[in-house]
Each structure stands twice: as C-alpha cells, then as structure tokens.
C-alpha cells in the first residue's frame, strides 16, 4: 500500500492540476490513497505579488471543491482546507464546514509563500488554534524564504504542543538538515518527503526515528506523470522512492514511511476501509 499525504488539485497560475489528473496518476503509479488540498487558495504568485482579487476564490469555495472531490472518490481521497491567512480569517462558515466534513478532513494546509505571510504571525496562529480545537494536524510548506522558514514552524510547534505540525518538503531548496534537526528535537513536529532527495529521507529516518517521516509528493504538480517522468523527460525522484529506497532502509522503516505512519497520524483506517474494492 502507498499513501500520498501531500497532493493537490486546482488550476491557478502555472499550477494545472485538474481533479481527474490526480485519480489518473494514482491509478497509474499505484497510489492507494491521497490527501489533497486545493491550490486555488493561492493569493500571491511565486514572487510575492498579489493575484488579482477577481481571480481569487475564498478558502471556503476551494475547500467545498475538495470536499466534493473526496465525496466522489470514497476510499481514495481525504482533504485539507488550504486556508488564506493573509486576506481571510477563521469564519463561522469554515468552522461549520470542517465540523460537517470531519470524516474526510484530516488536517489544515497552510502555504506561507502563496499566502505571503510568516508562519509565526498572529493571523496564522488563529488557524493553528482552529486546528487545535478540532484536534487536526497542520501541513505547512517549508522552504528557504523568510515566510516559510523552518524556524517559524519550530517556534509554533513549541508554543502549541497539542498540535502536530508537518514540515512539508522539510525545507524546500535547502539540504534538509535544519528541518531534520528540528523534527528530531520537537515531539509534535513531523516531516514529509515532497521533493526531498532519498538521501535526506534516509537521514531523517535515522535521526528522527521511523515514526516521524511520511511519504508525500505534491502530485500532480508536474502532470499525471509527476511520479514517473516529468515533462522535460527526466525520471522523477519518486521513482527512487518506489525502487532504490527499499534497499537503503529496513522493510519495516519502508512500510512506515510509505503508508503506516500516515494511516495512524491522519487516522485513515476507517476511510480506506470504506472503499468499495
């Protein structure tokens, strides 16, 4: 079994990730279950420039689309609302939607770059408190920008010990060592493998223990073949996860990374059992 705990749907800017692509890719590459968030919640482009307001959808609108996608694919998809702490706030409607859809909502997604906001800002804290009130984890993009730096996530993990935080990418664009050190030190801090070289994944498992790292990919950011061969004709690093990595860690560590940790962390057992197959 393989669970991908970091995938996306939605079409905005250069992101072209129609919902059907995710299902097609999962079928093609043997992914049994994916947790997705809707990138149409992006409010700023890659350079920190705001997107025209007319092009933006609200966090409730993008979440509603994710929910219908999950409802149409029982046993295959769970969701995280991708929230918009820069322009929006925790609304009664968002709270009601989470409450009504808690069976398929397994976390809250924050993207400090596309919200152009520091992860340790008071606006983000409101969403951390929301996650705490529902006992949901937070998945946040981490990278080398000041908004998405690992240090801010570490700070919030210390401040909110009851909330579990996943550092998506374990510091994209870095050598991952800072993120690994922090995940090792802080009990409620976890990491995913999206665009993480397998050498770093091996190091993270050795350093942080085999319970703290989960398989995630950003599928289908490079199209249906994100997990195979990218549009430039290059073999995706995820092929190494499917093949070479098995030789570098124990079978137990491999199973935990590829699905067992996510199954437990996101409490997916019931959801996967609902599958008609």
Tell me whether residue 224 or residue 249 sits nearer to Zn ion (CB atom).
224
Which residue is at the shortest CB distance from Zn ion? 218
Tell me whether residue 119 or residue 249 sits nearer to Zn ion (CB atom).
119
Shortest distance, position 142 Cβ to Zn ion, whole Å: 10
What lies within 8 Å, CB to CB, of 89 at 6+ separation is 123, 126
d(CA 119, CA 106): 20
Shortest distance, position 109 Cβ to Zn ion, whole Å: 8
Contact 139, 191 (CB under 8 A): no
- DSSP state at residue 119: T
Tell me whether residue 88 or residue 218 sits nearer to Zn ion (CB atom).
218
Shortest distance, position 169 Cβ to Zn ion, whole Å: 7
Q: Give the pairing of strands 77-79 and 138-143.
A: unpaired
Tell me whether residue 210 or residue 218 sits nearer to Zn ion (CB atom).
218
Shortest distance, position 274 Cβ to Zn ion, whole Å: 25
Tell me whether residue 4 or residue 218 sits nearer to Zn ion (CB atom).
218
CA distances from 7 to 54, 55, 234 (A): 26, 22, 20
Q: Which of residues 49-88 bind Zn ion (CB under 5 A)?
A: none
Shortest distance, position 277 Cβ to Zn ion, whole Å: 27
Calculate ∠ Cα 150-55-124, nearest 5°.
30
Count of residues engaged in binding Zn ion, rule: CB under 5 A:
1
d(CA 104, CA 151): 30
CA-based end-to-end distance of the chain: 14
Kindly state the tokens that stand for 79.
Answer: 């969701």
Contact 3, 33 (CB under 8 A): yes
d(CA 90, CA 14): 28
Reference 36, options 47, 49, 25; nearest CA is 25
Kindly state the tokens that stand for 113.
Answer: 């770059």
Tell me whether residue 210 or residue 222 sits nearer to Zn ion (CB atom).
222
Neighbours of 68 (CB within 10 A): 12
Tell me whether residue 62 or residue 253 sits nearer to Zn ion (CB atom).
62
Q: Which of residues 175-234 bind Zn ion (CB under 5 A)?
A: 218
**String marking each residue 151-180 x if it binds Zn ion according to CB under 5 A:** ------------------------------
Shortest distance, position 224 Cβ to Zn ion, whole Å: 17
Shortest distance, position 194 Cβ to Zn ion, whole Å: 6
Footprint of Zn ion (CB under 5 A): 218
């Amino acid at each position: 079994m393989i669970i991908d705990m970091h995938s996306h749907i939605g079409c905005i800017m250069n992101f072209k990730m129609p919902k059907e692509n995710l299902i097609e890719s999962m079928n093609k590459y043997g992914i049994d279950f994916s947790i997705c968030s809707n990138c149409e919640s992006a409010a700023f482009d890659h350079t920190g420039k705001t997107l025209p307001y007319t092009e933006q959808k609200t966090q409730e609108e993008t979440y509603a689309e994710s929910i219908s996608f999950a409802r149409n694919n029982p046993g295959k998809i769970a969701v995280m609302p991708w929230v918009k702490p820069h322009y929006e706030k925790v609304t009664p409607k968002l709270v009601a939607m989470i409450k009504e859809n808690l069976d398929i909502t397994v976390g809250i997604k924050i993207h400090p770059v596309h919200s152009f906001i520091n992860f340790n800002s008071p606006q983000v804290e409101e969403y951390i408190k929301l996650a705490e009130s529902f006992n949901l984890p937070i998945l946040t993009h981490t990278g080398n920008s000041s908004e998405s730096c690992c240090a801010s996530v570490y700070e919030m993990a210390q401040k909110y010990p009851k909330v579990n935080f996943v550092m998506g990418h374990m510091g994209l664009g870095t050598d991952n060592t800072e993120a690994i050190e922090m995940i090792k030190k802080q009990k409620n801090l976890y990491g995913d493998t999206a665009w993480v070289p397998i050498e770093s994944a091996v190091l993270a498992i050795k350093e942080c223990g085999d319970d703290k790292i989960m398989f995630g990919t950003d599928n289908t950011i490079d199209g249906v073949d994100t997990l195979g061969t990218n549009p430039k004709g290059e073999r995706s690093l995820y092929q190494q996860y499917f093949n070479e990595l098995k030789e570098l860690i124990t079978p137990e560590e491999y199973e935990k990374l590829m699905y067992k940790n996510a199954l437990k962390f996101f409490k997916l057992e019931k959801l996967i059992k609902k599958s008609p197959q």
